[in-house]
Amino acid sequence: MSGYLRLVSIGYRRRLAYRGGVFSLIWLYALTFGVMICFWRFIGAGTEGETMRGFTYPETITYLFLAVLIRNFVNSDLDIRLATKISSGAFAGDLILPLNPILGNVAESIGTSLYMFTWGSLPIGAALMPFVPLVGTTLARLPAFAGTLVMAAAMNIYINYIAGLMSVWTRRIAGVLALKACLTLVLSGTLVPIAFLPDWAASLARWSPFASLTHVPVLSYLGKLSAGDLTAALAVQLAWMLVLHVLAAGLWSKARKRYAAYGG
């Protein structure tokens, strides 16, 4: 256990070792949040009292603000980390350590996520908060929010893991990762709220594993989910989690065999 915690700290400090990296991270997050806020302020100007697809303007911008925040919090570089290690052969170095190589990489990625959160989205989000008409939440909604958030983080690890593992079968992992990033951005509701998508796309998104990543926690924060909705959303999250787990385990054993057959 202490070894994995050490890896979390290593993941954190590896990124913090470069001052230029910290400054670019702050810039990147300022841009991500800034563009999003300016864009939706423009759309929402003069819409007081109106709702768009069940969302008032403050709810919409809170949805997106939280979505970007959560996305940056739960997302990690596990996919890229695994992909580079597998294609460069450095993964062999992980295989000879007395630890679970997957959990080791997950731990290091969690460290990276914590770095991105503490040096990127947290300060920038806090600095921009006064410029956004944010909607608060109630104490009663917090457990559901926390629960769906934990599930989101776990599912995100699985999705990134599966995407990264694909580099055992492809030389052009960048394509796989770009596809994953696009799907996540659109279907999780980080780009536009899922409710704003065309109906067919919205229902596709709701049933996809990606909605669980940000859409579901944000809706529980906003109190837009009835008890029934929440149960259904949690059931969908759980079902996807199982599917992803089976998929990940199957792929890992196949990857291990292929790695052995081609000589690493």
Partner 1 sequence: MTPLSYPLEVHMGESVVSVTAVSKQYVRVRRRPGVAGAMVDIFAPRVERIQALANIDLQVSAGHCLGLLGPNGAGKSTLIKLIAAILVPDAGAIRIQGLLPATDRHAYLRQIGVVFGQRSRLIWDLPVRDVLELFRMLYRVDPESYRARVERLVNCFDLADLIDVPVRQLSLGQKMRCEIAAVLVPGPSVLLLDEPTVGLDLRAQYALRSMLSELKRSADVAMLISSHELHDIEQLADSIVVMDKGRVVFHGDGEQLIQTYGTGYRVRVVAEGGTLAAHPGVEWLSANELQAEAQDTRTLTALLQWLPTACSAIVDVHVTVPSLEDALLKLYEGRCPGERLSPSS
Binding residues (CB under 8 A) for partner 1: these are 2-3, 6-7, 10, 13-15, 17-18, 89-90, 92-93, 95-99, 260-264
Single-letter amino acid code for the residue at 191: L
- The residue among 109 and 188 lying less far from partner 1, judged by its C-beta, is 109
Minimum distance between the CB of residue 131 and partner 1, rounded to whole angstroms? 35
Task: Provide the 3-class DSSP secondary structure of residue 108.
Answer: helix
Instruction: Give the DSSP per-residue string, 206-240.
Output: HHSTTTTTTHHHHHHHHT---HHHHHHHHHHHHHH
- The residue among 7 and 233 lying less far from partner 1, judged by its C-beta, is 7
Is residue 224 within 8 Å of 145, Cβ to Cβ?
no
Give Rg (Cα) of the chain: 19
Minimum distance between the CB of residue 13 and partner 1, rounded to whole angstroms? 6
State the Cα–Cα distance between residues 101 and 264, nearest whole angstrom.
15
- The residue among 90 and 201 lying less far from partner 1, judged by its C-beta, is 90
Minimum distance between the CB of residue 80 and partner 1, rounded to whole angstroms? 15
Task: Provide the 3-class DSSP secondary structure of residue 52.
Answer: strand
Is residue 211 within 8 Å of 71, Cβ to Cβ?
no
- The residue among 97 and 201 lying less far from partner 1, judged by its C-beta, is 97
Task: Provide the 3-class DSSP secondary structure of residue 18.
Answer: coil
- The residue among 200 and 262 lying less far from partner 1, judged by its C-beta, is 262
